[in-house]
Amino acid sequence: MDDASIEGSLKGVSYDSALTKYRGLRVLKICRALAEGASSQILNPAVGIDSYYTFFLPYPLLKPFNEVRGEGAEISYTIVTAMLAHPALHRVKSLTVGDSFTSSIASGILLSQLGRELLQKIDAWKNSMPQHSRGNAWRKAIGEAVGRSLLKVSEDIESVAKVRRYVEEAAAGKGSSLSLEEHAEEVIRLARNSDVRRLLEVLMKTKPWSTSAKKQKYVRRRGEIAGYSLGRDVERLVPKMHALPPEVFLHKFIEGRLLLYEKRLARELGPIYCLIDKSGSMNGMKITWAKAVAIGLYLRAVKETRCFYSRFFDSEVHQLMKAGSGKASEAIKVLDYLSRVRSSGGTDITKAIFAALSDLRRAAYKGLSEVVLITDGVDRVDELRIRRELKAADARLLAVMVLGDNASLRKVSNKYFTVVKLDKEEALRVVELK
């Protein structure tokens, strides 16, 4: 493809440029991944490039038909003509114009749908339709298939845009849109998952990326100047104190009323560890809200350059998930992990807390770790042992009680949130760890 000359259907597109060929290859790669065995007439460079730029350009213009030539040019011309005539294209283009990622995704979905439909029709026509009748029937079939495929693209592309928004927030500053394109097939798979769609719906309403990074600071002789205080520590003395007469200086020193700089150092922070109750009583909106909060905590951990741990639990403690780099691939892994778990089973809060603290002790992180427990269960916990284990792991426990109350959990928690409404405000209160 690098050396071959390509002829397409659109005016103003440089079909022989390296970037244009790359865009066509990306579209065909996505198409092949989504539809194995698609019609080979669909999987050609001209079709990939033309479909991409039909989504990407604000006003794509067709060449006159008599100027279109080359392999795949006629079928490409027919596809683009049908696309431009269909009203669904305008809905899709609101998310694809000038955007290489969504244009590639939309083109890949469109051609994969077309490829499957047309392959079936080609096989049927070989034995049932005379040769001279196939041309018009072929063009009509393409037009109808393009319409159905555009409706599928319209359905998928909004969810793709939501997945992309989340991934870009998680991977901010850690890669370009090209790195996200490497995971295009996985993004499409997640966008088509009904559980992911419900989770993304809650996530878009909650917008946890609006929270700011947190720094815990404590007073030290050396550090950033944070204000003023009174005392005797001459190492932090404000310069104008040196101008005082000696007797006045000594008097203020004895009384502890010298004006000093207040200096603070940022405290090193350990991981954010999210424990999510997946018992049967959490079914429905409760667990979807809890998963959205967990994603918010992951985004917070990325902002604060901390590791993020998560486990689901019921009467047992389930697989550990660890994230920390904030790369696009990792953000996708976190969303996939959180979305595919469903509610079932009983509740054992004590076992879950001990498992989390054991994980943190083995990792031996420096700095304060925060264990966020999200549950609706009433379960008597071992208060004395949990306090001892929290201290040993240098961690604090933040309990989030969803539509309920747990007296023993309240006693042992450093912070206790009672969630009475599964909305944005309550979610952000938890994500901000305030």
* Helix, coil or strand: residue 50: helix
Q: What is the mean pLDDT of the chain?
A: 84
- Selected residue with higher pLDDT from 395 and 223: 395
- The stretch 361-387 carries a mean pLDDT of 87
Model pLDDT, residue 3: 52
- The stretch 136-164 carries a mean pLDDT of 87
Cα–Cα distance, 12 to 150 (Å, whole number): 24
- The stretch 323-351 carries a mean pLDDT of 88
Q: What does the pLDDT look like over 230-244, one tens digit per residue?
A: 888 887 888 888 888
Model pLDDT, residue 221: 56
Alpha helices for 207-327 (secondary structure H)? 246-255, 285-303
Q: Quick check: 286 pLDDT over 90?
A: yes
Question: Which of 68-82, 251-265, 360-374 has the highest average model confidence (pLDDT)?
Answer: 360-374
What is the model's pTM?
0.77
pLDDT bin (cut points 50, 70, 90) of residue 251 is confident
Q: Quick check: 254 pLDDT over 70?
A: yes
Model pLDDT, residue 309: 95
- Selected residue with higher pLDDT from 56 and 35: 56
Model pLDDT, residue 132: 43
Q: Quick check: 102 pLDDT over 90?
A: yes
Query: What angle (nearest 5°) sits at the alpha carbon of residue 278, between those of residues 273 and 281?
Result: 135
Q: Quick check: 157 pLDDT over 90?
A: yes
- Selected residue with higher pLDDT from 337 and 209: 337
Cα–Cα distance, 194 to 342 (Å, whole number): 12
* Helix, coil or strand: residue 331: helix
pLDDT bin (cut points 50, 70, 90) of residue 128 is low
Model pLDDT, residue 274: 96
Percent of the chain with pLDDT over 90: 38
pLDDT bin (cut points 50, 70, 90) of residue 262 is confident
- In angstroms and rounded to an integer, the radius of gyration of the C-alpha atoms of the chain is 30
Q: What does the pLDDT look like over 294-329, one tens digit per residue?
A: 999 999 898 888 899 999 999 999 999 999 877 888
Cα–Cα distance, 434 to 430 (Å, whole number): 7
pLDDT bin (cut points 50, 70, 90) of residue 402 is very high
Residue in the block written with tokens 């994230």: 323
Among candidates 294, 295, 305, 321, which has minimal Cα distance to 270? Answer: 305
Structural domains for the chain: 18-183 (1.10.3440), 217-266 (no CATH), 269-431 (3.40.50.410)
| Torsion angles phi and psi, residue 226, rounded to 5 | -115, -5
- The stretch 4-30 carries a mean pLDDT of 86
Query: How far, in whole angstroms, is CA 201 from its chain's centroid?
Result: 12
pLDDT bin (cut points 50, 70, 90) of residue 126 is very low
Cα–Cα distance, 67 to 65 (Å, whole number): 5
Q: Quick check: 38 pLDDT over 70?
A: no
- The stretch 201-227 carries a mean pLDDT of 70
- The stretch 123-131 carries a mean pLDDT of 50
Query: Which amino acid is located at 433 in the chain?
Result: L
| Pairing assessment for the beta strands 258-266 and 217-231 based on DSSP bridges | antiparallel
Q: Quick check: 77 pLDDT over 80?
A: yes
Q: Quick check: 71 pLDDT over 60?
A: no
Model pLDDT, residue 179: 66
Cα–Cα distance, 289 to 401 (Å, whole number): 12
- The stretch 159-164 carries a mean pLDDT of 91
Model pLDDT, residue 45: 83
Q: How many helices (H) and strands (E) does the chain have?
A: 16, 8
Model pLDDT, residue 130: 46
Cα–Cα distance, 434 to 416 (Å, whole number): 10
3-state secondary structure 83-125: HHHCCHHHHHHHHHCCCHHHHHHHHHHHHHHHHHHHHHHHHHH
Among candidates 283, 231, 227, which has minimal Cα distance to 259? Answer: 231
- The stretch 105-128 carries a mean pLDDT of 74
- The stretch 55-84 carries a mean pLDDT of 84
Report in angstroms the alpha-carbon separations of 330 from 18, 125, 223, 415: 30, 46, 34, 29
Model pLDDT, residue 129: 46
- Selected residue with higher pLDDT from 37 and 390: 390
Among candidates 321, 323, 288, which has minimal Cα distance to 195? Answer: 288
